């Protein structure tokens, strides 16, 4: 697994090896491990909750800030999980560069945060346009 991550992180800018590398990444990971299923469930519930509360700006702001704190903590989480992977995983997924944690943990949270930010901006523009007559 570490050899694969080393190859993934050494891709040269401008090369077209990104898609085959991501497909190979998907094949290397055992997606049926309980902790990965739980992580996928967490991301799914986060998206559902975000969609369900899209009209409540206060909840959306709390979700946005919570996501940013989780993304910020990914480095520390990667170090901790890298030292203790035997307790919950069958392979050492957590490389020192943090590629795995970035792909499975941070990227979905970043995408969700981007959607939250867009929703908050649209909500703010809507409120501002209703307050000031043209």
Spatial separation of the C-alpha atoms in residues 34 and 31, rounded to whole Å: 8
**Are 96 and 43 within 8 A, CB to CB?**
no
* pLDDT tens profile 29-88: 899 999 999 999 999 999 999 999 999 999 999 999 999 999 999 999 999 999 999 999
Q: Is residue 26 part of a domain?
A: no
Q: Tell me, what's the pLDDT at 25?
A: 78
Binning pLDDT at 50, 70 and 90, where does residue 20 land? confident
Question: Residue 55 is encoded by which pair of tokens?
Answer: 């009209």
**Are 97 and 7 within 8 A, CB to CB?**
no
Domain that holds residue 93: 31-131
Q: Is residue 16 part of a domain?
A: no
Q: Tell me, what's the pLDDT at 27?
A: 85
Q: Is residue 117 part of a domain?
A: yes
Q: Is residue 71 part of a domain?
A: yes
**Are 112 and 67 within 8 A, CB to CB?**
yes
**Are 45 and 38 within 8 A, CB to CB?**
no
Spatial separation of the C-alpha atoms in residues 115 and 46, rounded to whole Å: 12
Q: Tell me, what's the pLDDT at 26?
A: 82
**Are 109 and 71 within 8 A, CB to CB?**
yes
Q: Is residue 113 part of a domain?
A: yes
Q: How many domains would you assign to the chain?
A: 1
């Amino acid at each position: 697994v570490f050899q694969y991550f080393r190859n993934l992180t050494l891709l040269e800018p401008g090369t077209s090896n990104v898609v085959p590398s991501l497909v190979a990444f998907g094949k290397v990971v055992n997606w049926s491990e309980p902790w990965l299923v739980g992580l996928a469930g967490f991301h799914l519930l986060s998206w559902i909750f975000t969609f369900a509360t899209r009209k409540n700006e206060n909840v959306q702001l709390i979700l946005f800030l919570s996501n940013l704190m989780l993304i910020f903590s990914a480095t520390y989480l990667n170090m901790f999980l890298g030292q203790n992977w035997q307790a919950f995983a069958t392979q050492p997924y957590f490389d020192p560069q943090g590629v795995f944690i970035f792909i499975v943990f941070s990227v979905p949270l970043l995408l969700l945060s981007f959607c939250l930010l867009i929703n908050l901006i649209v909500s703010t523009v809507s409120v501002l346009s209703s307050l000031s007559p043209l």
